Copies of this chain bind each other. A is one copy, B any other.
Amino acid sequence: MLNYIILGMTRDAALTGYDIKKHIKNGIGTFYKASYGSLYPLLKKLAEEGYLIVSERPYGNRQKKYYQISAQGESAFYQWLSASMDLNNNIENHLAKVYFFDRLPADIRNRQLQEYEINSINYLRKLYVLEKDYAAMENKECFYYKLSTLYYGIRILQDNIRWCRHIQKKMDLTDFIEEDFL
């Protein structure tokens, strides 16, 4: 996933590896972390394969390496962005995509969000069945903590669906969160 994040981050400006790390931390640090050990070798590889253009520029006594996305990189990035949002991919991948959704034309963007919503709904239905089965048991208390993780999952899916609907309609984001919490 880091490869696509790098491609997405280097569209508006040529950035150094260090810059990219900071952009990742500030932009999607809530749900994704990158280490230099993964970042630098990947930058080298992406440049070698033609997805990034490198330009070395002297800065004082130092050679800085600036990376920027190439046409080939743009194409690969766009393909990732518009690829199916099924639940085989993890939530972080979906969030990273949505982070870059302003790069997508409105119709494809909403098709993506609709697909994600539908997949989430289908999965939620399955969890509801599970929940019903467990609720019918007589010794539920014995499984309180085990069940609590199922309910956590249900809640997150409910949020996912709400979120999809919310941002499809471009509604005010402050209405998505609970106000006066804490």
Contacts and interface: CB of A to CB of B under 8 A. Distances in A.
Interface of A: 27-28, 30-31, 95, 98-102, 121, 124-125, 127, 135, 142-156, 158-159, 161, 163, 166-167, 170, 173-174, 176-178, 181-182
Majority-rule SS of A interface residues: helix
Nearest to A145: B101
Contacts of A178: 155, 158
Nearest to A88: B33
Given A102-B144, A154-B177, A149 B28 contact: yes
Nearest to A127: B30
B173 A99 contact: no
A179 to B, nearest CB: 10
A88 to B, nearest CB: 10
